[in-house]
Chains A and B, each alone.
Chain A
Amino acid sequence: MIQPRDLFTQSIQLSPALLMALLVIPVVGGLIGVLLPAFGYIPALDKTTFTLSGFYSLFNTAGFGTMLLLSAVSSLVSTLLAFTITVLILACYFNSPWLYRIQRLLGPILVIPHAAAAIAISFLITPSGMMSRLFSPWLTQWQSPADWLLPHDPWAISMILGLTLKELPFLLLMALGALAQADLGEKLRAQHKVAMSLGYCPMTAFFKVVLPNLYPFLRLPILAVLAYASASVEIPLILGPNAPPTLAVAIMQWFNDVDLTLRIQASAGAIMQLLLTMTLLLSWWLLEKLIKRFSYNSLINGRREYAGQLIMRFTQLLTVILLTVIMLSLIGLILWSFAGYWRFPDALPSQFVLLHWQHALQHMQTPLLNTITIGFIATFVAVILTLSTLEAEQLRARNLSNFASLLIYLPMLIPSIAFLFGLVWLQEQVGSHHAYFNVIFGHLLFVLPYVFLSLASSYRRLDPRFSYLAASLGVTPSKVFLRVKLPQLLAPILIAFALGLAVSFSQYLPTLLSGGGRINTITTEAVALAGGASRRVSAVYALMQMLLPAMAFLLAWFIPKLVFTKQNAAHYVSTSSTKTTP
């Protein structure tokens, strides 16, 4: 292939390298930035000798073992649960129109920020929450809120519930996305049919034929979910145990402590967190290998029916319960945001007021402006970088190598708490003191992988003959990109933009750390308020968190329709005018 040598082509060829550098340097630099202090090296505190004291004090911290156990068990159990329920729902509704109805019901949950989801769930299960109100007093005889420890229960049940409910839609949508790929989906459905014609009941046919071929497409999303759950901060803060908390939450508290010497212990903790997450990812991989080996014989033993009906009924019940829990959480949140006086155990407030919304909206202006500005800039940069990287791929007629693709997903697999503190240190070292810029840069790291993931498949599916045709008409590469490719990709670009915004809106840790606590967004405010006194104000902030990404997606859905109607109208006018001219 002969490469054109114009400025556009040459500069676009650089973008994959730029994109990689933007992702890899901060992550690796950030990791070095916690590795040095973890071994006692902090020049700013006049500590320049390498010691293991950070790790000693970490191991001697009261409840350190419990912290590790909490992080490991909650992430592993929630990921297993989310994966199992995903597979059950897929198996149960594989040939049913309900699969897509469930997708439509669960889809919006995907873009709800973790903090908002956690707040909604905490309102549902708290002693005076929706759940106990609905069952009181007719069933429980309670006249005052029960004395239970939900949320923040020491067994981390609320936290596992929160993580599972947030991970489930992601895994389900990833699976449905794989099934929506024309070649794969059709093949798997045809093979499912073959298995049924061989006498397999639909449930068994799914498990023995579809699942083994679908799983490879779910592996990366599962690992991302597991990595996230093992180091997440918002959900454990709002739903998890307090004394001791999970490792990630403890690390954050040590880093933010006024006692600067705790930095060494916190850095050692960040390294432990990294090891823990890697161990968990490795355990999942091992578990997968074991299951594959030990289930192989049962794949071919000819058994066609394993209590399929029973599992089907169970899954249907589970789906109804899940959807009810989600609905009730949302309804509860909306009720609290408008509630005036609300006596326990009434299921509805006795008065509805707009006061909390008015009050919150007045105080919300700066965080709201911050949220939107940061989101737009980070997403804009991410979309431009992604588009030019994908264009560079097509210009040199070669996809990114597997290694490069893995690098793009690095920020999704490495726990952010492990490198963000190092990144803050790195930003100080290079003299980047502008908090706003640092926050946008921090968000970019997390927005970029999602934007890339969302755009790559549609960009690679573009029919290359359009650009060959345009080139044969003498159109320059830059015009092919701007006039031929981008207009065809309007809808996927807008969806990627909305997704980028949603990811940015939901960031808690990067905003808090890179901004040095000086930049407030809706999400940081919502997390701060979640532990506070007013459930009503907290509900308003959580709802605001949900409304912002919802609006972004609504626009992404609406704009292409508007553009196409306009084009059609223009087309109609031009054709009708040619008809009337004599």
Chain B
Amino acid sequence: MQSSLNIKQLTICRESTPLLSINECITGGEVLSIMGPSGSGKSTLLNWLTGMLPHGFSAKGSLFLNEQNITQLASHQRHVGLLYQDPLLFPHLNVADNIAFAMPKGNKKQRIEKINDSLKQLGLEGMAARHPQSLSGGQQARVALLRVLLSEPKAILLDEPFSKLDATLREDTRELVFAQIRQHQLPALMVTHDISDAHAAAGKIITLSADEQETRC
């Protein structure tokens, strides 16, 4: 079965003013890019998708993940992975344990093997016992990516994931992330303000506008 993330007839309002409306279906391996100036509701959309819409906002519409309605599920029950612009690796755990933290429960030995294999695949061999802060920015970004992927999410959200990386690193990391998303056949939604990110994602691009719409919620 093709995996999908389906945003049905979504309208988010701030107080009683409509902020944004979206009706999109993202299929596995596809990346939907959301662009727009600050204040256009990009991060509010992400908050709704993760089930953390803050006080003062209201939303109409529903969210289906692989045909299952998850609109009312709590954030931790959604199986939707998040990749931020900061890698946000846990400072009290080493690289391998950061990934182990994200993996489902299971046989200890198999977990360790899996971690080492995937570290090797992303060119992070020998980094398992390192402390996250001792890694370079690009390495940290890759560990954060591995952490999300090995948590076996059913969809993935990218919150300006490359904006803190410098130009050359940015392209490499971007290629890697999109390749992994395609390989795992995950539906993905990326919020960015950089048009080159959106082009590289090679999916549909939606631009949110900052002006408020006429109709009231």
**Using a CB–CB distance below 8 Å, which chain A residues touch chain B?**
97, 187, 190-191, 193-202, 205, 208-209, 212-213, 299-304
Contacts and interface: CB of A to CB of B under 8 A. Distances in A.
How would you classify the secondary structure of chain A's contact residues: helix, strand, loop or mixed? helix
A198 B77 contact: no
A265 to B, nearest CB: 48
Interface in B129-150: 147-148
B50 interface: yes
B79 interface: yes
Contacts of B86: 190
Nearest to A200: B76
B109 interface: no
B101 A300 contact: yes
Interface centre among A198, A200, A208 (most CB of B within 10 A): A198
Contacts of B100: 300-302
Given A190-B86, A302-B101, A302-B105, A199 B92 contact: no
A118 to B, nearest CB: 38
Given A197-B75, A202-B76, A301-B100, 14 more contacts: A190-B86, A190-B88, A191-B88, A193-B50, A193-B52, A197-B76, A199-B151, A201-B76, A205-B76, A213-B92, A299-B92, A299-B97, A302-B100, A302-B106
Contacts of A195: 76, 101
A199 B79 contact: yes
21 contacts: A191-B88, A193-B52, A195-B76, A196-B75, A197-B76, A198-B76, A198-B81, A199-B151, A201-B74, A202-B76, A205-B76, A209-B90, A299-B92, A299-B97, A299-B101, A300-B93, A300-B97, A300-B101, A301-B105, A302-B100, A302-B105
A355 B139 CA distance: 75
A197 B105 contact: no
A386 B101 CA distance: 44
Contacts of A191: 88, 90
B103 interface: yes
A353 to B, nearest CB: 48
A247 B8 CA distance: 70
B75 A302 contact: no
Interface centre among A196, A197, A208, A212 (most CB of B within 10 A): A197
B56 interface: no
B91 interface: yes
Contact of A198 (B84, B91, B101): B101
Interface of B: 50, 52, 55, 74-82, 84, 86, 88, 90-93, 97, 100-106, 111, 147-148, 151
Contacts of B88: 187, 190-191, 194
Contacts of B151: 198-199
The 10 A-B residue pairs whose C-beta atoms are closest, nearest first, are A197-B82, A212-B92, A300-B100, A302-B105, A196-B76, A300-B97, A196-B75, A198-B151, A198-B102, A300-B101
A267 to B, nearest CB: 45
A194 B76 contact: no
B148 to A, nearest CB: 8
B69 to A, nearest CB: 18
A296 B77 CA distance: 24
Contacts of B147: 198
B84 A194 contact: yes
Contacts of B111: 302
A193 B148 CA distance: 13
Given A194-B82, A208-B101, A304 B93 contact: no
B104 A302 contact: yes
A581 to B, nearest CB: 41
Contact of B82 (A193, A205, A303): A193
A9 B44 CA distance: 52
Interface centre among A199, A201, A202, A303 (most CB of B within 10 A): A199
Nearest to A208: B101
Nearest to A187: B88
A199 B77 contact: yes
Contacts of B91: 213
A576 B82 CA distance: 53
Contacts of A300: 93, 97, 100-101
Interface centre among A196, A213, A303 (most CB of B within 10 A): A196
A341 B81 CA distance: 67
Contacts of B76: 195-202, 205, 304
Contact of B93 (A194, A202, A299, A303): A299
A187 B84 CA distance: 12
Given A300-B101, A302-B101, A197 B50 contact: yes
A183 B208 CA distance: 30
Given A190-B84, A194-B82, A213-B92, A302 B103 contact: yes
A248 B86 CA distance: 52
A303 B86 CA distance: 25
Contacts of A209: 90
Nearest to B156: A197
B202 to A, nearest CB: 25
Contacts of A302: 100-106, 111
A197 B93 contact: no
Contacts of A199: 76-77, 79, 151
B55 to A, nearest CB: 8
Contacts of B97: 299-300
Contacts of A97: 55
A190 B97 CA distance: 18
B84 A303 contact: no
A212 B90 CA distance: 10
